[in-house]
């Protein structure tokens, strides 16, 4: 059982997302992360899903996904050299004169940006892989994380290979 | 300028539709108004579930796409069991449903249900049409999707304002182009070569043929292939009819209620050539002990079926007919497997299916008499349960598409409406529905439809006043605690008469053939109420989860 990152190219039509997610829940899979957005082809969208399961079960899910009429292509990025990123927005308690400077220092180590400065809070924006975001969130907890918002993971292959060209 | 309803009806005609099964209601009024003077024949059922099953029966008997129509909300929801039945058995139907007007969608309007949401897991694809201009294209796509690749049901949900809106009809594309859908028909040549090598090298090969052979109209190729190489053939419930029952290589059905010889052959085989099957649990029993010594070849048009339940050595993705045709061209003759065939003959001789003959009325006898009378030139539909298994075991099927039954979903109440559909597909053949007294009561209101439309379906009720299959399991595995499986006696002939249908009650074996003849000779529908032995069991039987050669109720080894 390991996390698989699936990249799914779909027709940009209403109901497609529920067809895809419905299939996962019907077959007993929990979606760990989900990201959807338009892609390089007009009229199509790309869904990136992270799901945990053994290889055979994932292969069966991919075959079932491929049967959906509105799905154009399903690729498993897991075994390939790739770049994967998530983005998180973290609202941290930061009363003036207390830990504000410390938080800003942590932010700079993580190359996180301060995107909002409030009277009693800071909002940090961080981009990275899952581990990096987890680490930052954990570190900030001691100051008081008021809110933590995170996107699903997106992934792309390194080099000239494209997701669409994968077998 | 045309209304959406007119575009819809004309689109159906363009697809070659002649008959549709349906039930009117509020939001489909515009469509029904269009049907009023259309050449399409509309059969008014008594419950929407029957419309879906009738479309399904029509499709199975004809090989063409069946069509049903229902209103929104309850009408659409009543189609659900029928759609799921078609989905599980890969039957091409197009289900048309009315929907509340687009401005009320999602508003909990009167008779609104999210039928595209509800049917997402039980359709091959579905559509909610929001613009009248899309209607023609959607109908064309729906028929294409339903009937190609691995067939299946497609639903089109049509809001009322989409039906009423008047537009200048846009041209419908000549060809359907769907970026996400292109089924593979031709098998990979290298894989076919590998498969042929395994087959010719095998000493104890068995062909395991399923519904895919029927769906792909590949019976001729299958029998040709089996005969040329002398390979015995066992069929699944859905594959019955792809090889004549009396063909020397036919082993009958395998699996839970399969013949002993089919299950023995599978267990001892060294090569399993699986064609258009899906290794269902009712077939394999315990998967580890299913064909334990065999290399497995699997042809299927749906790649998701390959390796789903059982590891496969040589997968061939493609249409069964196309692949078998290629195989036949590449085939090199080799010697028949005499020792293996001799062993199989021995099994067949010593382990035949049992048909008790003790002067009492046994269901197996009824089915055998029916088989003798009809000689394979009829369509036999069944309900689900003991009636279905006895028919599968004891009726001698000679042609594909003459056996129509709900396999995957196992839908009680399927038989009668499916038989109505089958009649419209093949008006030249007699149609018999073999029912139980439990199943028939699940859609008995369709007596109204067959009477009203003079549909000459012959209904043979194997009446044991039990929900027989469940009772059998209770007898065998629940210490004879017959929890809610006993039914009071019903005079089915009286019910039939009330609908204006003729019928006869049969209580002795001597009266079976006269009753069957009376049914066959009658111009209209006919009901036979066979009062059979109450606690007759379907044997042999593989208990759930056991190996398929561990059968009970068979012959001593």
* B320-330 vs B219-229: helix crossing angle, rounded to 10: 30
pLDDT of A81:
93
Same domain membership, residue A91 and residue A76: no
- Residue A163 counted as domain residue: no
pLDDT at residue A79 tops 90: no
pLDDT of B367:
98
* Among A29, A53, A80, residue at a domain's last position: A80
The angle subtended at Cα B18 by Cα B16 and Cα B143, nearest 5°, is 45
- Of B184, B113, B122, give the one whose Cα is nearest residue B148: B184
What CATH number is given to the structural domain containing A28? 3.30.70.260
- Residue B552 counted as domain residue: no
What CATH number is given to the structural domain containing B249? 3.40.50.1220
Strands B166-167 and B205-209: unpaired
Per DSSP, what are the bridge partners of residue A9? A46, A73
Task: Please provide the DSSP assignment of B5-31 as one string.
Answer: HHHHHHHHHHTT--EEEE---GGGHHH
DSSP helix, strand, coil percent of chain A (3-state; round to 5): 30, 40, 30
Same domain membership, residue B157 and residue B14: yes
CA-based radius of gyration for chain A: 19
Query: b/e for B478-511, b at 16 or more Cβ within 10 A?
Result: eeeeeeebebeebebbebbeebebebbbbeebeb
* Among B167, B201, B233, residue at a domain's last position: B167
CA distance B514 to chain A (A): 51
Q: By a Cβ cutoff of 8 Å, what residues of chain A touch chain B?
A: 10-11, 15, 18-19, 22-23, 26, 56, 59-60, 63-64, 66-73
Q: Which chain B residues are closer than 8 Å to A15 by Cβ?
A: 116, 120, 128
Same domain membership, residue B322 and residue B399: no
Active site residue B110: yes
- Residue B547 counted as domain residue: no
Active site residue B111: yes
**CB B61 within 8 Å of CB B32:** no
Distances (CA, A) of B77 to B84, B137, B384, B439: 11, 25, 22, 20
- Residue A108 counted as domain residue: yes
What CATH number is given to the structural domain containing B16? 3.40.50.970
CA distance B311 to chain A (A): 11
| Domain, as residue range, for B472 | 363-531
Q: How far apart are CA B223 and CA B214, in angstroms?
A: 12
Interface contact flag, A67 B128, Cβ < 8 Å: no
DSSP B148: S
Same domain membership, residue A48 and residue A6: yes
**From B6, B140, B160, B458, active-site residue:** B160
Q: Which of B121, B180, B303 comes nearest A26 by C-beta?
A: B121
DSSP B243: S
* Among A32, A58, A80, residue at a domain's last position: A80
pLDDT of B526:
98
CA distance A11 to chain B (A): 8
- Residue A166 counted as domain residue: no
Per DSSP, what are the bridge partners of residue A53? A2
Both structure tokens of B130: 């929001």
| Domain, as residue range, for A130 | 83-154
Determine contact: B124 vs chain A, CB below 8 A. yes
Q: Following CA atoms A48, A52, A56, A59 in sequence, which dihedral angle do they give, to the nearest 10 degrees?
A: -10
Residue with tokens 């299927």: B300
Residue with tokens 């996962």: A24
Distances (CA, A) of B43 to A11, B28, B73, B523: 37, 15, 21, 19
Active site residue B160: yes
Same domain membership, residue A30 and residue A13: yes
Burial class of residue A72, CB neighbours in 10 A (0-12, 13-18, 19+): buried
Interface contact flag, A69 B145, Cβ < 8 Å: yes
Q: Which chain B residues are closer than 8 Å to A64 by Cβ?
A: 304
Q: Count CB-CB contacts under 10 A for residue B396.
A: 16
Determine contact: B303 vs chain A, CB below 8 A. yes
Q: How far apart are CA B102 and CA B163, in angstroms?
A: 11
φ, ψ of residue B250 to 5 degrees: the values are -80, 130
Same domain membership, residue B430 and residue B368: yes
Domain count of chain B? 3
DSSP B337: -
CA distance B180 to chain A (A): 4
Q: Which chain A residues are closer than 8 Å to B128 by Cβ?
A: 15
**CB B245 within 8 Å of CB B396:** yes
Same domain membership, residue B368 and residue B344: no
- CB-side exposure of B320: number of CA atoms within 13 Å? 30
* Among B135, B167, B199, residue at a domain's last position: B167
Same domain membership, residue B264 and residue B147: no
Same domain membership, residue B151 and residue B105: yes
Same domain membership, residue B340 and residue B435: no
- Residue B539 counted as domain residue: no
Same domain membership, residue A76 and residue A6: yes
Same domain membership, residue A145 and residue A91: yes
Same domain membership, residue B369 and residue B343: no
Distances (CA, A) of B457 to A34, B371, B383, B528: 53, 16, 14, 11
**CB B92 within 8 Å of CB B151:** yes
* Among B321, B350, B379, residue at a domain's last position: B350
Interface contact flag, A71 B180, Cβ < 8 Å: yes
Same domain membership, residue A72 and residue A88: no
Determine contact: B543 vs chain A, CB below 8 A. no
Q: Which chain B residues are closer than 8 Å to A12 by Cβ?
A: none
Same domain membership, residue B516 and residue B386: yes
Q: Which chain B residues are closer than 8 Å to A69 by Cβ?
A: 124-125, 145, 178, 180-181
pLDDT of A27:
86
pLDDT at residue A65 tops 90: yes
Q: Which of A15, A26, A73 comes nearest B116 by C-beta?
A: A15
Active site residue B349: no
pLDDT of A29:
87
- Residue A167 counted as domain residue: no
pLDDT bin (cut points 50, 70, 90) of residue A165 is: confident
The angle subtended at Cα B276 by Cα B50 and Cα B59, nearest 5°, is 25
Alpha-helix residue ranges (DSSP H) falling in B205-295 = 211-215, 219-229, 260-268, 281-284
Strands A44-53 and A2-11: antiparallel
Strands A82-93 and A145-150: antiparallel
The pLDDT > 90 percentage for chain A reads: 83
- Residue A160 counted as domain residue: no
Per DSSP, what are the bridge partners of residue A74? A8
- Residue B356 counted as domain residue: no
Active site residue B389: no
Q: Which chain A residues are closer than 8 Å to B145 by Cβ?
A: 69
Domain count of chain A? 2
Determine contact: B302 vs chain A, CB below 8 A. yes
* Among A80, A96, A125, residue at a domain's last position: A80
**CB B527 within 8 Å of CB B456:** no
- Residue A61 counted as domain residue: yes
Same domain membership, residue B388 and residue B291: no
Q: How far apart are CA B553 and CA B535, in angstroms?
A: 14
Nearest chain A residue to B145, by CA: A69
Q: How far apart are CA B355 and CA B358, in angstroms?
A: 10
CA distance B500 to chain A (A): 46
- Of B345, B436, B341, give the one whose Cα is nearest residue B390: B436
**CB B540 within 8 Å of CB B554:** yes
Annotate B39-106 with three-state secondary structure.
CCEEEECCCHHHHHHHHHHHHHHHCCCEEEEECCCHHHHHCHHHHHHHHHCCCCEEEEEEECCHHHCC
Interface contact flag, A63 B303, Cβ < 8 Å: yes
pLDDT at residue A132 tops 90: yes
Q: Which of A11, A22, A23 comes nearest B180 by C-beta?
A: A11
Both structure tokens of A58: 């994932």
Determine contact: B116 vs chain A, CB below 8 A. yes
- Residue B536 counted as domain residue: no
φ, ψ of residue B258 to 5 degrees: the values are -75, 175
DSSP B331: -
Q: Tell me how many residue pairs between chain A and chain B have CB atoms under 8 A apart.
A: 39
- Residue B172 counted as domain residue: no
- Residue B232 counted as domain residue: yes
Per DSSP, what are the bridge partners of residue B123? none
CA-based radius of gyration for chain B: 24
What CATH number is given to the structural domain containing A116? 3.30.70.1150
CA distance B203 to chain A (A): 31
Determine contact: B304 vs chain A, CB below 8 A. yes
Alpha-helix residue ranges (DSSP H) falling in A47-162 = 55-67, 100-109, 130-140
- Residue A99 counted as domain residue: yes
Same domain membership, residue A39 and residue A105: no
pLDDT at residue A99 tops 70: yes
The angle subtended at Cα A96 by Cα A91 and Cα A97, nearest 5°, is 130
The angle subtended at Cα B261 by Cα B255 and Cα B263, nearest 5°, is 30
pLDDT of A1:
84
Q: Count CB-CB contacts under 10 A for residue A167.
A: 4
pLDDT of B257:
97
pLDDT of B332:
80
Q: Which of B121, B180, B307 comes nearest A22 by C-beta?
A: B121
pLDDT of A167:
64
Per DSSP, what are the bridge partners of residue B21? B43, B68
Kindly provide the ipTM of the predicted complex, given to two decimals.
0.91
pLDDT in tens, chain B (557 residues): 999 999 999 999 999 999 999 999 999 999 999 999 999 999 999 999 999 999 999 999 999 999 999 999 999 999 999 999 999 999 999 999 999 999 999 999 999 999 999 999 999 999 999 999 999 999 999 999 999 999 999 999 999 999 999 999 999 999 999 999 999 999 999 999 999 999 999 999 999 999 999 999 999 999 999 999 999 999 999 999 999 999 999 999 999 999 999 999 999 999 999 999 999 999 999 999 999 999 999 999 999 999 999 999 999 999 999 999 999 999 887 667 899 999 999 999 999 999 998 999 999 999 999 999 999 999 999 999 999 999 999 999 999 999 999 999 999 999 999 999 999 999 999 999 999 999 999 999 999 999 999 999 999 999 999 999 999 999 999 999 999 999 999 999 999 999 999 999 999 999 999 999 999 999 999 999 999 999 999 999 999 889 999 999 998 87
Same domain membership, residue B109 and residue B34: yes
Q: How far apart are CA B296 and CA B212, in angstroms?
A: 17
pLDDT of B557:
72
- Residue B129 counted as domain residue: yes
């Amino acid at each position: 059982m390991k996390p698989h990152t699936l990249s799914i190219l779909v027709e940009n039509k209403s109901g497609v997302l529920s067809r895809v997610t419905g299939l996962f829940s019907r077959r007993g899979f929990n979606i760990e992360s989900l990201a959807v957005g338009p892609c390089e082809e007009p009229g199509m969208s790309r869904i990136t899903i992270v799901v945990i399961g053994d290889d055979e079960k994932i292969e069966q899910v991919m075959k079932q996904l491929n049967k959906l009429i509105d799905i154009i292509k399903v690729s498993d990025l897991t075994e390939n050299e790739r770049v994967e990123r998530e983005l998180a927005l973290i609202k941290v308690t930061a009363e003036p004169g207390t830990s504000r400077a410390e938080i800003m220092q942590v932010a700079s180590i993580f190359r996180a940006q301060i995107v909002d400065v409030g009277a009693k809070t800071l909002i940090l924006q961080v981009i990275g892989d899952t581990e990096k975001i987890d680490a930052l969130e954990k570190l900030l907890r001691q100051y008081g994380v008021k809110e933590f918002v995170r996107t699903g993971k997106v992934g792309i292959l390194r080099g000239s290979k494209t997701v669409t060209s994968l077998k | 300028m045309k209304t959406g309803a007119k575009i819809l009806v004309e689109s159906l005609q363009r697809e070659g539709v002649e008959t549709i099964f349906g039930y009117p209601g509020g939001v489909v009024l515009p469509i029904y108004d269009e049907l009023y003077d259309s050449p399409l024949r509309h059969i008014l059922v008594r419950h929407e579930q029957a419309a879906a099953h009738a479309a399904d029966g029509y499709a199975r008997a004809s090989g063409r796409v069946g069509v049903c129509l229902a209103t929104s909300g309850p009408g659409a929801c009543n189609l659900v069991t029928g759609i799921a039945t078609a989905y599980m058995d890969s039957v091409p139907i197009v289900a048309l449903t009315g929907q509340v007007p687009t401005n009320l969608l999602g508003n909990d309007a009167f008779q609104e249900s999210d039928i595209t949401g509800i049917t997402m897991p039980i359709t091959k694809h579905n559509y909610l049409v929001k613009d009248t201009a899309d209607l023609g294209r959607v109908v064309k796509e729906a028929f294409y999707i339903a009937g190609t690749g691995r067939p299946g049901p497609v639903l089109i949900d049509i809001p009322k304002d989409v039906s009423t809106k008047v537009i200048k009809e846009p041209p419908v594309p000549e060809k359907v182009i769907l970026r996400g859908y292109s089924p593979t028909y031709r098998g990979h040549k290298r894989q076919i070569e590998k498969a042929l090598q395994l087959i010719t090298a095998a000493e104890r090969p068995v062909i395991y043929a399923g519904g895919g052979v029927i769906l792909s109209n590949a019976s001729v190729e299958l029998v040709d292939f089996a005969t040329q190489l002398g390979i015995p053939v066992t069929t699944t419930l859905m594959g019955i009819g792809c090889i004549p029952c009396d063909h020397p290589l036919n082993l009958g059905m395998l699996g839970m209620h399969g013949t002993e010889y089919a299950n023995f052959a599978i267990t001892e085989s060294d090569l399993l050539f699986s064609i258009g099957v899906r290794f269902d649990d009712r077939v394999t029993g315990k998967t580890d002990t299913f064909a334990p010594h065999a290399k497995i070849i699997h042809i299927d048009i749906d790649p998701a079926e390959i390796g789903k339940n059982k590891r496969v050595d040589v997968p061939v993705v493609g249409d069964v007919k196309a692949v078998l045709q290629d195989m036949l061209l590449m085939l090199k003759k080799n010697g028949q497997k005499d020792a293996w065939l001799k062993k199989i003959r021995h099994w067949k001789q010593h382990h035949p299916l049992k048909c008790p003959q003790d002067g009492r009325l046994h269901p197996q006898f009824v089915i055998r008499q029916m088989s003798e009378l009809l000689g394979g030139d009829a369509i036999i539909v069944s309900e689900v349960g003991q009636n279905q298994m006895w028919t599968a075991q004891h009726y001698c099927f000679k042609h594909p598409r003459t056996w129509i039954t709900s396999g995957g979903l196992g839908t009680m109440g399927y038989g009668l409406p499916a038989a109505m559909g089958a009649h419209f597909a093949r008006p030249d053949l007699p149609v018999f529905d073999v029912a139980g007294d439990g199943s028939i009561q699940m859609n008995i209101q369709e007596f109204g439809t067959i009477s009203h439309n003079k549909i000459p379906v012959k209904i043979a009720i194997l009446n044991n006043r039990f929900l027989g299959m469940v009772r059998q399991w209770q007898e065998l595995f629940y210490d004879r605690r017959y929890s809610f499986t006993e039914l009071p006696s019903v005079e089915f002939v009286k019910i039939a008469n009330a609908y204006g249908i003729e019928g006869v009650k049969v209580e002795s074996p001597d009266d079976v053939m006269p009753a069957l003849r009376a049914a066959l000779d009658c111009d209209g529908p006919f009901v036979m109420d066979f009062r059979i032995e109450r606690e007759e069991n379907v044997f042999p039987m593989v208990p759930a989860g056991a190996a398929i050669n561990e059968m009970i109720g068979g012959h001593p080894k």
